[in-house]
Amino acid sequence: MIQLKDIKKIYNKNHSNAFEALRGISLTIENQEIVAIVGTSGAGKSTLLHILAFIDSADEGTYMLDERDVTDLPDKDKSQLRTGEIGLVMQDYALVEDFTAIENVMMPLDFDRKNKRKSREKKKLALQVLRQVDMEDFSKKRCNELSGGQKQRVAIARAIVNNPKLVIADEPTGALDSGNAKQIMEIFKKLQQDGKTVVFVTHDMNIASYADRIIEIQDGRLIE
């Protein structure tokens, strides 16, 4: 699914305060694998995740996604990949708080220009993904009335509504207690059974142990 070769990221390049946050990351992630990225604060985890999700781009190296070289794609193509092929889950859920759960889940369907579904079909699809994360009964609740765990499940439903092959999550359980965190990991396992690849960052080794493989970053380098 993912092949990174010698990825480097230098912040403030060509300035006196230039900082090499990633110092040559080479990594292969297989289809339907669940991978946890761990490491201390400042190690480069978010930088790597942002490159994988096309939020930022690398300064050197190559990035192959699904056997396609996506290293130097134009922004337009990157944003299309971001809406269609990658589901992004953030620690703070990034939901529109005064919209209902189903309204939040339907949002990416409107962003995807290729997607010309009718409103009724969109609702049906959104309900279907809410069911996958066991949140169907809360579809009409506004997000500011939901608990943290419930919000994260809605955020996952929103991330998968366009049926992406890859789900990328930045500290998805960082704000949750262990019971809710476990539920999120069980949802990731279900996504894997549905054919998806999941890459997430965590600093909690208990949570990382749900992954098929744990990758540790230290000072911008992978360590085994």
Those residues with Cβ within 8 angstroms of residue 86's Cβ, 6 or more apart along the chain or in another chain: 52, 53, 54, 164, 166, 167, 168
Number of C-alpha atoms within 13 angstroms, CB side, residue 184? 33
Interface residue with ligand ADP among 11, 55, 204, 221 (CB under 6 A) is 11
Order the strands of the 86-90 sheet from edge to edge.
86-90, 166-170, 197-201, 34-38, 213-218, 221-223
> Minimum CB separation from ligand ADP for residue 94, in Å?
17
Residue number, 48 or 127, with CB nearest to ligand ADP? 48
| Residues near ligand ADP (CB under 6 A), total | 12
- The yes or no reply on residue 14 touching ligand ADP (CB under 6 A) is no
Instruction: Give dist(CA 207, CA 224) in Å, integer.
Output: 18
Residue number, 11 or 99, with CB nearest to ligand ADP? 11
Residue number, 42 or 195, with CB nearest to ligand ADP? 42
Dihedral of CA 126/131/133/137: which sign?
positive
> Minimum CB separation from ligand ADP for residue 66, in Å?
24
Q: Report which residue type is found at 90.
A: M
> How many Cβ atoms are within 10 Å of 56's Cβ, its own excluded?
16
> Minimum CB separation from ligand ADP for residue 159, in Å?
19
H/E/C letters for each residue in 105-133?
A: HHHHHHHCCCCCCCHHHHHHHHHHHHHHC
Residue number, 133 or 168, with CB nearest to ligand ADP? 168
Strand intervals (E) in 136-212: 166-170, 197-201
- Restricting to residues 15-74, which ones interact with ligand ADP according to CB under 6 A? 19, 21, 39, 41-47
> Minimum CB separation from ligand ADP for residue 201, in Å?
7
Residue number, 7 or 109, with CB nearest to ligand ADP? 7
Residue number, 130 or 215, with CB nearest to ligand ADP? 215
Site for ligand ADP, rule CB under 6 A: 11-12, 19, 21, 39, 41-47
